[in-house]
Structure 1
């Protein structure tokens, strides 16, 4: 079923499901079928939810699982800056519903609550070879009511940390309101305002961390982001700019 979300910016529409394999998978099918920018796929549960590096995302009912299609008129390299917007939007949701919450942003795109993982983002794209294939799908899973166990990084939910249960539909409404506001701002102002807002809540800024890039690791002080959102670490042998890695604080 498709319906327009009330009171959200014009052009945003919602496709809702009880259960899907993954909202990103459904959104990619729609994007390849010329679905318009602002199409949101939402499901109450996923059977094969997916996170970064093809990791499984546990997706039982009660949390928020959704993806949005965007069609920015930029290069693909610039468009990947959009991956920072979900964290900013979720930060505003937390500020609205749980104003005393201690949240932070863990590079590249996780949101932490009391230093435990609350959400994750998966960005996928078309091949950018034609105007029709210039699309991004940004999926986000947010632990509202419960969190998985036996995870690589300690996980939590809003309810577990605050005893406040945010209705899924309320979280969906405000999350995409803020995502779209940040998207419009990014479209007009570029990445600078996004980067500055993200760094205000950056997990581990100016602290020592290790970035595991697969076959190689780098340890140093996290000093910021470059103009496209890559991680900047000052190591003993110089500045390293890292575009993909798992990062860990060294304490």
Structure 2
């Protein structure tokens, strides 16, 4: 999955976005081409809003779905949490045309940016996009949109305090089908140790398993240099991207 500059700010589709620090780029996932406005780090330097940039964990989750089509085959209702640019949700919608896809984020400006991407990438039958703050208004959201058999989240947990509301949201909105699951990619950082994952899983009543991806035939697509120790130029050498599948226990 590669990204390349498409057009400069001001191109068709950006008239509703006022921030000229964003640049249209093409993101390729298999045979799917996704156009998004991405933070121009060369011009602007350090990003101030994480939802304005394409992150490696989002690329990994999109690639996982592309190379494992069975993930989406049985999914009728798909939800992306903390969508940012919406690349993962857009990829899911393009790969599983039969599925109803809902894309959400907790930031108003990011939701508007994501809606612009939906207008750019779909002529009709766009996925829905709404604001959703984890742990708040979940019953109302569920009454309006129902529950989901696939929930997606890419690098959305930014600290120890954000994991419990993320998991409580997943538990509330994930349906009880035996095949229902939440796929989460994240970068293994000091504030997200494995014992924290285990502790919060027990506290919220979700089961989980790690998905090994490094030895998969397509894993090389995450490497942007000839050095195999680097998964992505944005990831420091000590930061490993993990994939975790969350599920409701069958007895729940």
The normalised TM-score by structure 2 is 0.26
Structure (1/2) with the larger strand percentage? 1
Which has the larger share of helix?
2
Q: TM-score, normalised by structure 1?
A: 0.26
